[in-house]
Amino acid sequence: MSRTRLCVFCGSTTGTRPEYPAAAIALADAMTTAGVGLVYGGGAIGLMGVIADAMLARGGEVIGVIPQALASREIAHAGLTELHVVASMHERKALMASLSDGFVALPGGFGTFEEFCEVVTWTQLGLHPKRCGLLNVSGYYDALLSQFDRAVGDGFVRAANREIVIADTDPARLLGRVLVPAPGAQAGRVSPGDL
């Protein structure tokens, strides 16, 4: 029987505000209550470690995917349901996407931004029909959301594609909104404005 899983991108540090780890724990609460498993970057540190530990403490499924080169640097989590050690970042992202039914970004840095924008692009191009959500903790993603809106206004992103990205401040509500297929996402249907 297949299980619903959410891929969560997040920082390898906990940031400077207590709201960030609290949000990771709240998302774990929402996921375990809904019976949703976690797919994430496999680390034991930062927000990655916080959400993994919170999921495990609540009896949730946790699947980590980490490249060999980062396994020692990010301190690969030893207590997961499954840990996949892969050869490259590209392999990591592809496996995480294939194991997941939707994506959420908690606060994080460049790696989080890059991973999130890549899966948004994959949805836009019809490579998968998965929704992409931002857990907007303490306004962390306000500027990024404004940039996405400007890209629509300036003609670089179609309004329908902007709808792929959803944002919410409430983890349970965001979870419910992310785990439905993205609007208009159909494999193989790409127009020039989608590139």
pLDDT digits (tens, 9 = 90+) for 95-133: 999 999 999 999 999 999 999 999 999 999 999 999 999
112 within domain boundaries = yes
Query: Taken in order 58, 72, 70, 15, is the CA torsion positive or negative?
Result: positive
Predicted model pTM? 0.90
pLDDT at 94: 94
183 within domain boundaries = no
% of the chain beyond a pLDDT of 70 = 91
Q: With bands split at pLDDT 50, 70 and 90, how would you rate the model's confidence at 192?
A: very low
pLDDT at 181: 63
56 within domain boundaries = yes
Task: Tell me how crowded residue 147 is: count the other CB atoms within 10 A of its CB.
Answer: 11
What is the domain count for the chain?
Answer: 1
25 within domain boundaries = yes
Q: What is the distance between the alpha carbons of residues 194 and 126, in angstroms, rounded to a whole number?
A: 9
48-95 tens-digit pLDDT: 999 999 999 999 999 999 999 888 776 889 999 999 999 999 999 999
Residue 190 has pLDDT above 60, yes or no: no
Q: What is the CATH number of the domain that holds 33?
A: 3.40.50.450
pLDDT at 53: 97
The phi, psi pair for 174, rounded to 5°, reads: -60, -45
188 within domain boundaries = no
Selection from 149, 146, 169, 174 nearest residue 159 by Cα: 149
Residue range 167-179: mean pLDDT, rounded: 96
Q: What is the distance between the alpha carbons of residues 33 and 28, in angstroms, rounded to a whole number?
A: 8
Q: With bands split at pLDDT 50, 70 and 90, how would you rate the model's confidence at 189?
A: very low
DSSP 138: G
**For residue 79, which amino acid is it?**
G
> Which residues are within 8 A (CB) of 129 and not within 5 positions of it... i.e. 6 or more apart?
123, 181, 182, 185, 186, 187
